[in-house]
Structure 1
Amino acid sequence: MTDTAALERARALLAEHPVIDGHNDLPWALRENVGYDLDRCDISQDQSALLHTDLARLRAGGVGGQFWSVYVKAEFQGDKAVSATIEQIDCVRALAARYPEHLQLANTADELVAARAAGRIASLMGAEGGHSIACSLATLRALYELGVRYLTLTHNDNVPWADSATDEPAANGLTRFGVEVVREMNRLGMLVDLSHVAPDTMRDALRATRAPVIFSHSSSRAVCDHPRNIPDDVLAALPANGGVAMATFVPKFVLPAAIEWSKQAESVLAERGLHALDTTPEAMEALRAYEDANPRPVATVATVADHLDHMREVAGIDHIGIGGDYDGVAFTPQGLDDVASYPNLIAELLTRGWSEADLAKLTWHNAVRVLRDAEAVARDLQRTERPSIATIEQLDGTDGLR
């Protein structure tokens, strides 16, 4: 199959089975760059000079559903984290209201499918980090009522009830309150997202959950030994759970050679008082200057496809998906430059012998199924369980550890 033929087949496949992407940080990018002023950054226009995402490129990429991340920095704690998360939710709702011919809010699997049938991009929300609920199950329920359909249990730092993959172990997984958070999420129908969490947290959550989990943007640790990736034993547990691991495109998570380069680049940002995840023009200027002096190892479409090949082998085709992390990273793989690039990945997988039926599961069907299954579990649980009124003080004591 020629590259041109594969790309044509990929675009045709995505027209029938579009991508449901697990994680895009456009709301935070809009906060950081224009203070949510959508007049200053109109995504109905070409925004390629500033962002990975705009409406035309979403359409070109064959995106039919997007989990917009309503991420806030882990440095935000307590009421500040909660209010900032609500501001992020407000941004997503504002985008859907401003571009109703393109974006349609979706809270359920049926609404996701209906948005697609209407020719719109289904817009769902995921909160990235348990700090967004400030150790409050009532806040968790409020976020669900506002449309948040997954919670990533941690971001880059531990929360008092769960360990992050990129922090020092404190709870050795989930505390008793952490288990209660997972179980209340099950009762609500909110997906438990295990990206960013430590392997012991992953394993504890898989033991605690009554519903399928997701990894909204994580790849294979066996292929690239970065703590943000998923160990094989956890991938192998997904079939019994019914969950989905959505491979990400972040170069330092997919290409071993990029790990050390990224650490050094982040230290350059820190020296300038900039956050490691900063993608503002000032941060990008500093990173490009560093790159000019220190050539960056470049991931490619094939690098990401290698992860998907391995993840399919270990977890099975019914348990993998895609979570690009666009607008949450400074650099992307060659050939996966922005949200218009998904056809390049599908074309690569076609040349590797993936069937169209398997690719349809990867792009669309697995994500729809996991959301629908979580909803079914919630309906059953709500017949017998009341909202939890447990507190972290009751379950874990004052130190936050079990």
Structure 2
Amino acid sequence: MTPHHEATVVDAHNDLLMLVVRRPRAVWATYFRDHWYPQLREGGVDVQVLPVFIDAEFRPEGALRETLRMVEAAHRIAEANADVVALCRDGAEIDAALASGRIALVLALEGCPQVDDDLELLHTLSRLGVRVVSFTHFGRSMLADGSAEDATGGRLTRAGVEAVGLLEALDVLVDVSHLSRSGVDHVLELATRPVIATHSSAHAVHRHHRNLVDDHLRGVAATGGVVCVTFFAGFLTDDKPTLDHLVDHVAHVVAVAGEDHVGLGSDFMSEVIDEKVPACDRPLVVEGVDAEIAIPGLEGPAGLPLVTDALLRRGFPEPLVRKVLGANVLRVLGAGPRRPRGPGSGSGGGIALS
């Protein structure tokens, strides 16, 4: 058994729901089971955060409708595949899923176009299972400015300030990935509970506006939260991306924020781009970087064991690797140490995490 499959692996950001809902609703559950579940198992994934991202074609009028379709897809996936996955609303449900050998699925919102300043909808979406929320994407929303708008110096709006308090009261994690620098400052000033960055890397290692500066790495850690390093190549380096570039970012976050405050948020884009972007729009450039370039072997979740191998080769001790792979994110999701897997789960037995 490899160190990777002995650990609890949490991926804080995989956009697979975008591809599920492109298919007829009658096959949502079977498509997940036949196509995504084998990849997640091969990658040793135990907890998968599923962001709900709303493409521009649905904004603004169709944003809530598409959100509800994606949330419904997650529920149907879990109900029809209850022997292998569970949609989890809190740490106790995550623990129960892991104890039974199933993959825990956790819903998140990436940006809030479906909410705007109608904050009562956060109550509704929380009831439906959403446990993580970010306020914007690259641009401006009714709650905050995204990182591509750093030059405005925009902080949270009044609705954004109210949303932080409401989400904390609902026991929903505030996600600072994609926020402007001033917006992250503002969240960290307000936060009384752990904050997460579901898919952000280190600005000191690669100076892209999507990455967090060291003060923000320390600030997230001070809340008890976690920074989940993204695999998105253009946010890691301007060079040909390698696993070493990814490990450089992990190592920097560990050095600045501490070993209890770093995790992984893959943001795999290869399949999303292959399905959704027509040839006439290639190459797809996102905020100045070619989104079609991926770290070799990390085009999808099956490649996650490569990350563990790279961390170990760099000299990370196994207890630290287990924290990076998932123990730290489990803590902020409210789940305890890993329970032994159920029989026949396909990924080996479990160990307690330090």
TM (normalized to structure 2)?
Answer: 0.84
What is the distance in 2 between the residues matched to 1:76 and 1:111? 32
Q: Which runs of 4+ in 1 moved over 6 A?
A: none
Q: 2:21 aligns with which of 31, 34, 37?
A: 31
2:325 aligned residue: 363
Task: Give structure 1 stretches of 5+ with no counterpart.
Answer: 1-10, 48-53, 258-297, 374-402
> 2 CA distance for matches of 1:36 and 1:200?
41
SS in 1 for 2:266: coil
Aligned equivalent of 1:211: 193
Partner of 1:352: 314
Match of 1:16 among 6, 28, 40: 6
CA distance in 2, matches of 1:169, 1:149: 30
Would the aligned equivalents of 2:29 and 2:80 in 1 still touch at CA under 8 Å?
no
- 1:40 and 1:107 mapped to 2: Cα distance? 19
Task: Provide, for residues 177-196 of structure 1, a one-character-per-residue CA deviation record: whole Å limited to 9, x for no partner.
Answer: 21111111000001000111
| 31, 42, 53: which one aligns with 1:42 | 31
Is the 2:156–2:186 contact (alpha carbons within 8 Å) kept by the matching residues of 1?
A: yes
Deviations 1:161-184 (A, max 9, x none): 201012365571112221111111
Match of 1:152 among 113, 129, 134: 134
Distance 2:86 2:297 in 1: 28
Matches within 5 A, 1:134-173: 134-167=116-149, 172-173=154-155
1:353–1:168: structure 2 CA closer, same or farther, 3 Å change rule? closer
Written as runs of structure 1 = structure 2, the 5 A alignment for 1:282-301 is 298-301=240-243
1:368 counterpart SS class: helix
Distance 1:166 1:318, change over 3 A: same
Query: In the alignment, residue 10 of structure 2 is paired with which amino acid?
Result: I
Whole-Å separation in 2 of the counterparts to 1:79 and 1:134: 11
Equivalent residue number for residue 286 of structure 1? none
Given the alignment of the two structures, is residue 333 of structure 1 paired with residue 308 of structure 2, yes or no?
no
1:192 counterpart SS class: strand
| Conserved? CA contact 2:28–2:76, under 8 Å | no
Q: CA deviation at 1:157?
A: 1.8
Distance in 2, Cα, partners of 1:186 & 1:121? 26
- The answer (yes or no) to whether the contact 2:8–2:327 under 8 Å persists in 1 is no
- 1:395 is aligned to none
For 1:31 and 1:56, locate their aligned partners in 2 and report how far apart those are by CA, in whole Å. 19
Q: 1:300 to 1:140 in 2, by over 3 A?
A: same
2:37 paired residue number: 55
Q: Give distance in 1, aligned partners of 2:150 and 2:224.
A: 29
In structure 1, the residue corresponding to 2:234 is in which secondary structure?
helix
C-alpha displacement of 1:239:
2.6
Gaps of 5+ in 2: 274-291, 336-354
Q: Confirm whether residue 308 of structure 1 aligns to residue 270 of structure 2.
A: no
Match for residue 280 of structure 1?
none
Alignment correspondent of 1:284: none
Which deviations, in whole Å up to 9, do the C-alpha atoms of 1:14-40 show, x marking residues without a partner? 3332211101111112234x2545269
- Structure 2 CA distance for aligned equivalents of residues 168 and 151 of structure 1: 20
What amino acid does structure 1 have at the position aligned with 2:15?
A: D
CA contact (8 A) 1:166 1:227 kept: yes
**For the Cα contact (< 8 Å) 2:200–2:230, is it kept in 1?**
yes
Asked if 2 retains the 8 angstrom alpha-carbon contact of 1:194 and 1:215, the reply is: yes
Q: Name the SS for the 1:337 alignment partner.
A: coil
Amino acid at match of 2:265: G
Q: Is the 8 A contact 1:300 1:336 kept in 2?
A: no
Give the total of aligned pairs: 315
- For each residue in 1:343-387, what CA deviation from the matched residue of structure 2 results, as whole angstroms up to 9, or x when unmatched? 1111110111111111111122211111229xxxxxxxxxxxxxx
Larger CA Rg, structure 1 vs 2: 1
Q: By how many angstroms is 1:337 displaced?
A: 2.3
Instruction: Please state how far the C-alpha of 1:75 moved relative to its aligned partner.
Output: 5.6
Query: Contact (CA 8 Å) 1:223, 1:307: kept in 2 or not?
Result: yes
Q: How much identity, in percent, do the aligned residues show?
A: 33
Q: Does 1:228 align with 2:190?
A: no
> Residue 79 of structure 1: CA displacement?
5.2
* Residue type at the aligned position of 1:315: A
User: Could you say if the C-alpha distance between residues 35 and 164 of structure 1 is closer, same or farther in structure 2, counting changes exceeding 3 Å?
Assistant: farther
* 2:48 pairs with 1:106: no
Match of 1:343 in 2: 305
Displacement of 1:153 after TM fit? 1.2
Q: 3-state SS of the aligned residue for 1:44? A: helix
| Equivalent AA in structure 1 for residue 301 of structure 2 | V
1:246 Cα deviation from its structure 2 partner = 0.3
Cα separation, 1, equivalents of 2:107 and 2:60: 21
After TM superposition, the structure 1 stretch with the greater mean CA deviation from structure 2, 329-338 or 175-184, is 329-338
Superposed displacement of residue 81, structure 1: 1.4
State the one-letter code of the partner of 1:14: H
> How far does residue 335 in structure 1 lie from its aligned partner after superposition?
2.4
Answer yes or no: is the 8 Å Cα contact 1:162–1:171 preserved in 2.
no
RMSD across aligned positions (CA):
2.0
